Amino acid sequence: MTDDEQLPAHASAHLLSTSVGRLNRLRAAVLGCNDGITSTAGLVVGVAAATASTRALTLAGLSGLVAGSLAMGGGEYTSVRAQRDSHDALLRTQRAELAAVPDEELDELAHLYMQKGLSLRLAREVAAELTEKDALAAHADAELGIDLEDLVNPWEASLASALSYLTGGLLSLVAILLPPRSYRVPVCVGAVLLGLGITGYLAARLGRSPTGRSTLRNILVGGATMAVTYGLGAIGSDLG
């Protein structure tokens, strides 16, 4: 392979990294929806086993849905905020180094590209061209593994996580409230297992893992969760 043929490969690797980041966020949204389905289903099925009161079921379901959504969003904000703060600190250090010792930083960038397989001449050309365009972005990508165009906003991540949980939880809540009382639990269980099958399949596809095993595992976990909470609700009803 010639030196000129290696430049598109570097660009392709950058685009692939960005695409992977977006797929990971999409997969996180699917998993958030999955958590909402499972958690809310476990709660409402347990309550339905203990009481036939629609009011009690609605209040418990809504309370659990809101609490879970806020907890999910808050946890995601804390996690992403910590990661973003770490990235910001690294970028401040890198920016200061570029201002203080630009020549040494250029040599370092060329060395990094040589480690990736480029020849000395091509590595220096790439480093010089990228530095001229945006030195911080070039060093952030090659040295720190940070894509300045793909930095996650903590508030956006928090909102996406909360909404995905809320969406999944609404499926479980609607599935138990809409049917007649005598069919509530069976309909809810069926709808939830179907929903978990879909989210398990999508998560596996996005994560490039075996879909059948992931889907079955997701369904079994959701089914076990509802079985346990239903049993607890039934025991609580008998004791009451």
pLDDT tens, residue by residue, 199-213: 999 988 888 888 999
CB atoms within 10 A of CB 67: 12
Q: Apex CA 232: angle with CA 226 and CA 234, to 5°?
A: 100
Is residue 14 scored above 80 in pLDDT? no
Indicate the residue type of 166.
L
Rounded percentage of the chain residues whose pLDDT exceeds 90: 54
Is residue 13 scored above 80 in pLDDT? no
Residues with Cβ < 8 Å from 130, sequence gap 6 or more?
Answer: 109, 137, 138
Q: What is the CA radius of gyration of the chain?
A: 25
What is the average pLDDT across 22-26? Answer: 72
67 token code pair: 């609490």
Indicate the residue type of 83.
Q
What is the average pLDDT across 55-80? Answer: 94
Is residue 147 scored above 90 in pLDDT? no
Is residue 143 scored above 60 in pLDDT? yes
Is residue 217 scored above 90 in pLDDT? yes
Residue-wise pLDDT for 68-100, tens only, equals 999 999 999 999 899 999 999 999 999 999 999
Out of 19-23, 79-83, 158-162, 193-197, the most confident range is 193-197
> What's the whole-model pTM score?
0.78
Residue-wise pLDDT for 175-197, tens only, equals 999 999 889 999 999 999 999 99
Plot region of 79 (φ>0 → left; ψ -120 to 50 → alpha; else → beta): alpha
Residue-wise pLDDT for 97-127, tens only, equals 999 998 999 989 899 888 888 888 898 888 8
In this predicted model, which residue has the larger pLDDT, 200 or 147?
200
Is residue 11 scored above 50 in pLDDT? no
- Is residue 132 within 8 Å of residue 162, measured between CB atoms? no
Query: What does pLDDT average to over the chain?
Result: 86
What confidence score (pLDDT) does residue 21 get?
Answer: 61
Rounded percentage of the chain residues whose pLDDT exceeds 70: 89
Tallying the residues shown for the chain, one arrives at 240
Is residue 65 scored above 60 in pLDDT? yes
State the pLDDT confidence band at 1, using cuts at 50, 70 and 90. very low
3-state secondary structure at position 104: helix
What confidence score (pLDDT) does residue 221 get?
Answer: 95
Report how far residue 130's alpha carbon sits from residue 43's, in angstroms, rounded to the nearest whole number: 54
- Is residue 211 within 8 Å of residue 201, measured between CB atoms? yes
